[in-house]
């Protein structure tokens, strides 16, 4: 077993942080490490919290952390910054709002960047969830800023997807058009002390009817994170969904689909890295790429065929 995996299984916090850095940097050892960690996973509840900027997600997560700790649960928070690995957006935003929990040994907060991922979430996000699970956290929260693709991608890496909305924001029509109604397991109307809550709730119910019946009917929870209202009800609904996943055929199908996503994701990532390195190391190919008028379709077709012939 990988040395880091052994240390993580023994709750070595520094080893966990190092392992996360290792997968973020795409270290050659990462697949062996993650395979070892997978064998000791503890089956934490993976919860995704997404929604538009300004919906109060970080404040909501902050309140949820306090509630979970009062229940004696340990929590890892993965805050995904969708802008740039150099922006520090999640670091300066989410962590400042969660500063009450910095010294709590039962909480671990990690900010991550998408690093130009073609989807909204980087591959390293799923790997980080695995690492935190192996460490032994009871709950793993993944917060995204919600800029379109990240909202759809989050369903591939968590058990329960929560979409945060606010009254009079106009978001409900956008999420319906983007297909997010189909992936939400729970709707949270935050800032529910503002006018327009009833209208928003009615819109959600109508759109869910249009979307068609499914095994799980997403509940709508009202919260006011600034006043710590609705947090207990929110946790109750999250627990019910987790229970549903492990007791029904629909839950089994979801886990099976997520496995397929993950296997294909890993294969696509490894193939891409192999092809990329092959081209980067070939000076002749690099010269072709310097020609702004080169036909990209012919280059891609020829180089892919060449890579396949070479045993790829």
- Kindly report, residue by residue over 55-106, the tens digit of the pLDDT: 888 889 999 999 999 999 999 999 886 554 444 444 444 555 566 677 888 9
Do residues 168 and 195 touch, judged by C-beta distance below 8 A? yes
Do residues 151 and 290 touch, judged by C-beta distance below 8 A? no
- Kindly report, residue by residue over 104-132, the tens digit of the pLDDT: 889 999 888 655 444 446 678 888 999 99
- DSSP type of residue 223: -
Q: Quickly tell me which residue has 């800032």 as its tokens.
A: 191
Between 171 and 197, name the one with better pLDDT: 197
16 pLDDT above the threshold of 90: yes
Q: Average pLDDT in the 249-256 region? A: 84
Q: How far is CA 31 from CA 2, 24, 263, in A?
A: 11, 12, 12
Q: Which of 46-50, 256-260, 281-285, 301-305 has the lowest mean pLDDT?
A: 256-260
Q: What's the pLDDT at 230?
A: 96
Q: What's the pLDDT at 125?
A: 86
Q: What's the pLDDT at 252?
A: 84
Q: What's the pLDDT at 273?
A: 84
Q: What is the pTM assigned to this prediction? A: 0.85
**What gap in Å lies between CA 100 and CA 67, rounded to an integer?**
13
**What percent of the chain lies above the pLDDT cut of 90?**
43
- Kindly report, residue by residue over 192-232, the tens digit of the pLDDT: 999 989 998 998 888 888 776 677 889 999 999 989 999 99
Do residues 186 and 45 touch, judged by C-beta distance below 8 A? no
Q: How far is CA 157 from CA 167, 194, 239, 244, in A?
A: 28, 32, 17, 17
Binning the chain into helix, strand and coil, the percentages to the nearest 5 are 55, 15, 30
152 pLDDT above the threshold of 70: no
Do residues 23 and 8 touch, judged by C-beta distance below 8 A? no
Q: What's the pLDDT at 255?
A: 81
Element (H, E) at 221: strand 220-222
Do residues 7 and 15 touch, judged by C-beta distance below 8 A? yes
Q: Average pLDDT in the 125-150 region? A: 84
Q: What's the pLDDT at 95?
A: 52
Longest CA span, the chain: 64
How far is the first Cα of the chain from the last one, in angstroms, to the nearest whole number? 28
Between 236 and 276, name the one with better pLDDT: 236
Q: What's the pLDDT at 204?
A: 87
- DSSP type of residue 218: -
Q: What's the pLDDT at 253?
A: 85
19 pLDDT above the threshold of 70: yes
**What gap in Å lies between CA 112 and CA 21, rounded to an integer?**
10
Q: What's the pLDDT at 272?
A: 87
């Amino acid at each position: 077993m990988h040395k880091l995996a052994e240390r993580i299984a023994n709750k070595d916090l520094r080893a966990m942080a190092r392992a996360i850095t290792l997968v973020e940097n795409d270290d050659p050892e990462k697949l062996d490490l993650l395979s070892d960690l997978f064998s000791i996973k503890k089956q934490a509840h993976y919860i995704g919290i997404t929604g538009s900027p300004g919906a109060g997600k970080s404040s909501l997560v902050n309140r949820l952390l306090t509630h979970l700790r009062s229940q004696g649960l340990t929590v890892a928070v993965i805050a995904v910054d969708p802008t740039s690995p150099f922006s520090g957006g999640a670091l300066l935003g989410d962590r400042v709002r969660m500063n009450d929990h910095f010294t709590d040994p039962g909480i671990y907060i990690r900010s991550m960047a998408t690093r130009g991922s073609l989807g909204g979430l980087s591959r390293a996000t799923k790997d980080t969830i695995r690492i935190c699970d192996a460490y032994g956290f009871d709950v793993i929260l993944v917060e995204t800023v919600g800029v379109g693709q990240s909202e759809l991608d989050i369903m591939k890496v968590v058990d329960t997807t929560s979409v945060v909305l606010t009254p009079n924001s106009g978001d409900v029509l956008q999420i319906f058009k983007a297909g997010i109604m189909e992936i939400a397991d729970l709707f949270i109307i935050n800032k529910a002390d503002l006018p327009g809550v009833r209208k928003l709730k009615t819109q959600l119910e109508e759109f869910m009817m249009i979307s068609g019946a499914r095994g799980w009917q997403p509940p709508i929870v009202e919260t006011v994170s600034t006043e710590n209202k609705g947090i207990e009800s929110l946790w109750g609904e999250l627990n019910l969904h987790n229970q549903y996943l492990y007791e029904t055929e629909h839950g089994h199908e979801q886990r099976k689909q997520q496995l397929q996503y993950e296997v294909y994701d890993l294969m696509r990532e490894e193939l891409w890295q192999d092809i990329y390195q092959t081209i980067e190391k070939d000076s002749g190919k690099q010269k072709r790429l310097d020609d702004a008028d080169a036909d990209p379709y012919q280059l891609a077709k020829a180089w892919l065929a060449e890579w396949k012939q070479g045993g790829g």
